[in-house]
Homo-oligomer: A and B are copies of this chain.
Amino acid sequence: MEPSVKSHCLSPGCSIQVSRIMRPDDANIAGNVHGGTILKMIEEAGVIISTRHCNMQNEERCVAVLARVERTDFLSPMSIGEVAHVSAEITYTSKHSVEVQVNVIAENIIKGAKRLTNRATLWYVALSLENVDKLVEIPSIEYVSPEEQEEGRKRYAAQKLDRIETKQRNEDIFLPAINVEPFTIGYSQSSLIHLVGPSDCALHKYVQGGVTMKLMDEVAGIVAARHCKTNIVTASVDAINFHQKIQKGSVITVSGRMTFTSNKSMEIEVFVDVDHVLESPKGKTHAVTAFFTYVSLDKDGKALPIPMLKIETEGEKRRFEEGRSRYLQTKAKRMPLAHKGQ
């Protein structure tokens, strides 16, 4: 199998391949590469081709900023020493958005084996460098066929709808843990706090979306490890919407809590809050929220059973039920695909 990106776009410069050897710091102690490392690479490829594309015809210099990532499955974990190949291609453009589709292939250069580890879809908007509050118009790409374009238009409309809906979830509140009894939500609840530095913002003065996603995955991993005490790996990430620009010098707090457990998986809700340290605090909303699904693996990479979550409050119960319905929905969607041989 040699998975490759099917060409959707006939314009020049609308595809790229980014490759890198996975290093010890990219992986957990069991040697499995963090999902967040992959998400960060994916976003780096996306921001390069989107920024390149939006500067092709424009007089006005602009940079691409991540607006949304579609739900992503991690098909198999990568290991230290393997090479991750991220191929990205622009597949649709609307007036103000760029859709980028990405394939990630893990190559074991010693064994000579390659495998597809995940696919992802990202949406970018372009900001003017002179006035970062202004969206710049995106030059249209040339499509392989009118059908391709029509498919893209549908994906664009669907994500737009979902983007508006999820804005509401951002009001949810994350309370400090009080209960510390094992398997409760309070017990595994965790936070990371990160000071946004220059390298988090290479092209402009805002955090690249990939940096945020890497931190989100890291906190979800700590929550999962605390709950299971085993080797845990990212199985999937639900769609993530980015509603705020996060500026250099801000402090971002990334918090995660368990919401749902099935037999073989656990769902962790992650919130990103931004504190502009040098400004007085404004009314707080979450800058980003997302659901990460983790699985627990034994030494041979086989899925272990997940300890059942101890539910204590009404809010926890509601969130558990919502998690279950997301779980069932995903399972249902995956079924027919299995028959198609994917």
Identity of the chain B residue whose Cβ is nearest the Cβ of A219 in the assembled complex: B193
Select one of B24, B196, B275 contacting A52, CB under 8 A. Answer: B275
Distance of A249 from chain B, by nearest CB (Å)? 4
Any B CB within 8 A of the CB of A301: no
Tell me, in angstroms, the Cα distance from A61 to B112 when the chains sit together: 10
Any B CB within 8 A of the CB of A222: yes
Identity of the chain B residue whose Cβ is nearest the Cβ of A56 in the assembled complex: B112
Any B CB within 8 A of the CB of A164: no
Select one of B22, B29, B180 contacting A249, CB under 8 A. Answer: B29
Any B CB within 8 A of the CB of A55: yes
User: Residue-by-residue, is A1-44 near B (CB-CB < 8 Å gives 1, otherwise 0)?
Assistant: 01000000000010011111111110111000000000000001
Please, which residues of chain B bring their CB within 8 A of the CB of A29? Answer: 80-81, 248-249
- Which residues in chain A, 234-273, are within 8 Å of chain B measured between CB atoms? 248-249, 251
Please, which residues of chain B bring their CB within 8 A of the CB of A16? Answer: 19, 193
Distance of A205 from chain B, by nearest CB (Å)? 9
* Inter-chain contact A229/B193, CB cutoff 8 Å: no
Identity of the chain B residue whose Cβ is nearest the Cβ of A223 in the assembled complex: B109
- Residues of A within 8 Å of B, CB-based: how many? 67
Any B CB within 8 A of the CB of A140: no
* Inter-chain contact A109/B199, CB cutoff 8 Å: no
Please, which residues of chain B bring their CB within 8 A of the CB of A107? Answer: 52
User: Residue-by-residue, is A209-242 near B (CB-CB < 8 Å gives 1, otherwise 0)?
Assistant: 0000000001101100110011000000000000
* Inter-chain contact B2/A180, CB cutoff 8 Å: yes
Q: Select the stretch in A149-157, A276-284, A320-328 that faces chain B.
A: A276-284
Distance of A24 from chain B, by nearest CB (Å)? 4
**Given A44-B21, A55-B109, A80-B29, residue A202 in contact with residue B191 (CB < 8 A):** no
**Given A24-B199, A112-B182, A193-B16, residue A51 in contact with residue B277 (CB < 8 A):** yes
Tell me, in angstroms, the Cα distance from A13 to B169 when the chains sit together: 25
Please, which residues of chain B bring their CB within 8 A of the CB of A340? Answer: none
Tell me, in angstroms, the Cα distance from A249 to B28 when the chains sit together: 8
Please, which residues of chain B bring their CB within 8 A of the CB of A249? Answer: 28-29, 202-203
Identity of the chain B residue whose Cβ is nearest the Cβ of A191 in the assembled complex: B193
- Which residues in chain A, 53-99, are within 8 Å of chain B measured between CB atoms? 55-56, 61-63, 80-81, 83
Any B CB within 8 A of the CB of A302: no
Please, which residues of chain B bring their CB within 8 A of the CB of A230? Answer: 110, 278
Identity of the chain B residue whose Cβ is nearest the Cβ of A57 in the assembled complex: B280
Instruction: Find the residue from A63, A219, A281 having the highest chain B CB count within 10 A.
Output: A281
Name A residues whose Cβ lies closer than 8 Å to a Cβ of B.
2, 13, 16-25, 27-29, 44-45, 47-48, 51-52, 55-56, 61-63, 80-81, 83, 107, 109-112, 129, 176, 180, 182, 190-199, 202-203, 218-219, 221-222, 225-226, 229-230, 248-249, 251, 275, 277-281
